[in-house]
């Protein structure tokens, strides 16, 4: 597994992290609403449907991360580079965890490999922690947008 710095360098060198012309606040607000709608939907899913729950938690993290990076006028071509940039910008975020869930999502979606039930409580708790952290940061950025 690569480390954060080598992944970041590779993403930059390959043009997978790129600049946006502007901060599209309407897009950010729409993405936030979509993520929050998914978050609400989690309450209606049977708790033993861990693959579905995992995918929803992952999508929320993905959408919130993407929306947050728009404030920096940054976008990425893939999830690896998105999370690499995010964890470079927010040093207290655990890049290895983001890599773990990204790989599990790929294994689930493309490899047909379900989430290990014994790992789910740990993964779920950490995903919820990051959903809260990303939401808090995003809300702060929205609140302060265009303030002098």
pLDDT digits (tens, 9 = 90+) for 8-59: 999 999 999 999 999 999 999 999 999 999 999 999 999 999 999 999 999 9
Neighbours of 61 (CB within 10 A): 25
Domain that holds residue 56: 4-144
Q: Can you name the residues that pair with 18 across neighbouring β-strands?
A: 75
Count of structural domains, the chain? 1
For the segment 93-104, what is each residue's pLDDT rounded down to a tens digit? 999 999 999 999
Kindly report the pTM of this predicted structure. Answer: 0.96
**Can you tell me the mean pLDDT for 83-98?**
97
Beta bridge mates, 75: 18
Looking at residue 50, what is its pLDDT? 98
SS3 61: helix
Q: How many whole angstroms separate alpha carbon 110 and alpha carbon 69?
A: 26
Render the burial of 96-110: b for 16+ CB within 10 Å, e for the rest. Answer: ebbbebbebbeebee
Question: Could you report the per-residue pLDDT of 111-145, keeping only the tens digit for each?
Answer: 999 999 999 999 999 999 999 999 999 999 999 99
CATH of the domain at 140: 1.20.120
């Amino acid at each position: 597994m690569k480390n954060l710095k080598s992944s970041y360098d590779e993403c930059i060198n390959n043009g997978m992290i790129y600049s946006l012309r502007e901060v599209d606040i309407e897009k950010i607000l729409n993405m936030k609403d979509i993520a929050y709608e998914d978050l609400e939907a989690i309450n209606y899913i049977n708790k033993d449907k861990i693959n579905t729950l995992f995918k929803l938690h992952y999508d929320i993290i993905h959408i919130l991360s993407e929306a947050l990076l728009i404030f920096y006028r940054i976008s990425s071509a893939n999830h690896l580079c998105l999370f690499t940039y995010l964890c470079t910008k927010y040093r207290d975020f655990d890049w290895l965890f983001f890599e773990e869930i990204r790989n599990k999502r790929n294994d689930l979606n493309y490899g047909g490999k379900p989430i290990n039930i014994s790992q789910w409580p740990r993964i779920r708790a950490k995903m919820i922690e990051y959903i809260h952290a990303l939401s808090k940061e995003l809300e702060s950025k929205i609140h302060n947008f265009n303030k002098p």
